[in-house]
Structure 1
Amino acid sequence: MKPHLKIDIVSDVVCPWCYIGKRRLEKAVAQLKDDYTFELRYLPFQLSPDTPVEGENHKERLIAKFGSEERYEQLIRQVSDVAAGEGLDFHLEKQIMAPNTHALHRLIGYALQQGKQLEMVETLFKAYFEDALDLTQTDTVVQLAESIGLEGTKVREVLTTDAGTEHLDKQLYQNRLMGVSGVPYYIINDKYAVSGAQPTELFLEALPEIALKAPIQAPVVSGESCDIETGVC
């Protein structure tokens, strides 16, 4: 019987390092899947919970966050170059709207119940970072969910009512209690923490070691992430 690795991934839909980290982890899983079984689950985090429900201008928000248009453009180029190295085609300069991700996380939770969470997370990341779609628009998000086989009427209900809110808010609170202030944040076998979009090589080295270890608390390994405290992303 293969050793089992359960990986909970704390992330936000609008976090570029979460998408980059997703690709890096997937590459490691692909190389290790013959020797280990994997269970991946996404947990919610909101980098900007104060974003209006209707969303706000993406560029203006980031210029305010980073201090200048020059710094904004520099960081957009930097993260896009890193993403390209992982086979991702970012077009953040074309993204107009930054959504409040609360409803999107409720959708991701619903997708988990339907056995479609990984597909939903991938679809939302691609829509936001590569296709520059407006995720504040319910119709757009419903179409994305339908594209992976979710039922449109149910999805619309999740997005436009408070369905799943209590459970989501509890998860967000629990993640804050764990001390998560930046994403991506990986919790492996309920004990080991890896923070930031680590290189594939680190996962290839760390995951087999963790699979063989007794469940003791290990130190957090840190890497590139989006941080709610400093605003750095």
Structure 2
Amino acid sequence: MRIEIWADVVCAWAYIGKRRLEKALADLAPTDAGAEVVWRPFRIDPTTPDQAVPLEEARRDPLVDAALRQCAPGLSPDENQVRVSRIAADEGLGRRWGAAWRASSHDAHRLLFLAREHDGAALQNEVAEQVLKAHFVDGDDISDRRCLKVVALRSGFAEGAELLDTDAGDREVRELLLIGKARGIATSPTIVVGDRALAGAQPPEAIAAFLARAEPGREMPQEVRRLRWAESLLDQRDPLGALTLLKPLLRAHPDDLNVRRAAARGYFHSAQLSRALDVLEPLVDDVPDDSYARLLLGRTLQRLGRAKQAAPHLKVAAAMTPEFA
């Protein structure tokens, strides 16, 4: 069974969730002794600057303070830190606890991705442990590559220390962040098995119950899954993210009608009107009874100032699908 943990390594609940998952798996053994735990990236604060800021200083920023208050309604950031520290101690994470930096986790996620690519889930899990320990126990700045290189060496991943100075894993991590968004991941951590998800650092017994009921999920070609993720991002009004996920499909399946429709939506809604037109005109020629493609073509021509050319397409689209009128 593959267990995905979608989490941000600067999220205290990710570390607590890791311990609770480990306890749940220990309780389920030996039935799930072969479980593979895979870490996936999530960003709880995409606005974090590349250069880390001491957390005490960051808390003086009203926007950061407001975000921290949203994490624990009814508690001040200091009260919430005390609460989380007590929970972390109960989970065996030590009495000395608490992040010292508001740090970007992007390079840490790269290191995690590269660890799994290099030597599988066990190495990745060890890197995750060492990154979380560095951030929450040692008070290190994990946005600093020098710190991450020490983490890599400590984890037995010397190659990772060298790869950090390249762009290795950057594209893949950014794509995984989009996939997580497309799949509806909105909480760190979220445990996913197949098509089912458990949000939050739930108690070990809740995680164990979730895993006991988990199923691998429906088998689906990777191309179909990627197309659905792209369509999900379009529905979430993220056309640029959708186009990023569509790139491999446009290369491998340029004639597929569903891929072309999704690309047309992405180009139109990201105001890339010339590209939208390049896709829509041949699409309407190939599928003249596609009312939505005609609607999109008409609106694209309108935005380009070509109202006379747009009118026939809009009229046909409305005749075929009245709600398009």
TM-score, normalized by length of structure 1?
0.81
| Inter-CA distance 162–208: structure 2 relative to 1 (3 Å threshold) | same
Q: Take 1:54 and 1:16, find their aligned partners in 2: how far apart are those partners?
A: 20
Q: Does 1:124 align with 2:131?
A: yes
| 1:1-233 aligned within 5 A | 5-36=1-32, 37-62=34-59, 64=62, 65-67=64-66, 71-89=76-94, 91-93=96-98, 95-115=99-119, 116-151=123-158, 154-188=159-193, 190-211=194-215
Give the count of matched residue pairs: 207
Cα deviation, residue 147, structure 1: 1.1
Q: Take 1:150 and 1:10, find their aligned partners in 2: how far apart are those partners?
A: 22
Cα deviation, residue 92, structure 1: 4.8
3-state SS in 1 of match to 2:35? strand
Letter in 2 for 1:117: Q
More helix, by proportion: 2
Instruction: Name the counterpart of 2:264.
Output: none
More strand, by proportion: 1
Cα deviation, residue 99, structure 1: 1.5
- Structure of larger gyration radius: 2
Q: Take 1:203 and 1:108, find their aligned partners in 2: how far apart are those partners?
A: 23
Cα deviation, residue 214, structure 1: 7.5
| Inter-CA distance 215–87: structure 2 relative to 1 (3 Å threshold) | same
Q: Take 2:168 and 2:141, find their aligned partners in 1: how far apart are those partners?
A: 22
Q: Take 1:96 and 1:204, find their aligned partners in 2: how far apart are those partners?
A: 32
Of structures 1 and 2, the one scoring higher in RCO (CA 8 A, sep 6+) is: 1
> Which sections of structure 2, spanning at least 5 residues, go unmatched?
70-74, 220-325
Instruction: Name the counterpart of 1:231.
Output: none
Q: Take 2:217 and 2:48, find their aligned partners in 1: how far apart are those partners?
A: 42
Q: Which runs of 4+ in 1 moved over 6 A?
A: none
Cα deviation, residue 134, structure 1: 2.0
Instruction: Name the counterpart of 1:226.
Output: none
Cα deviation, residue 72, structure 1: 2.0
> Which sections of structure 1, spanning at least 5 residues, go unmatched?
217-233
TM-score, normalized by length of structure 2?
0.59
Cα deviation, residue 41, structure 1: 0.2
**% identity of equivalent residues:** 31
| Inter-CA distance 77–35: structure 2 relative to 1 (3 Å threshold) | same
Cα deviation, residue 60, structure 1: 2.9
Q: Take 1:209 and 1:120, find their aligned partners in 2: how far apart are those partners?
A: 29
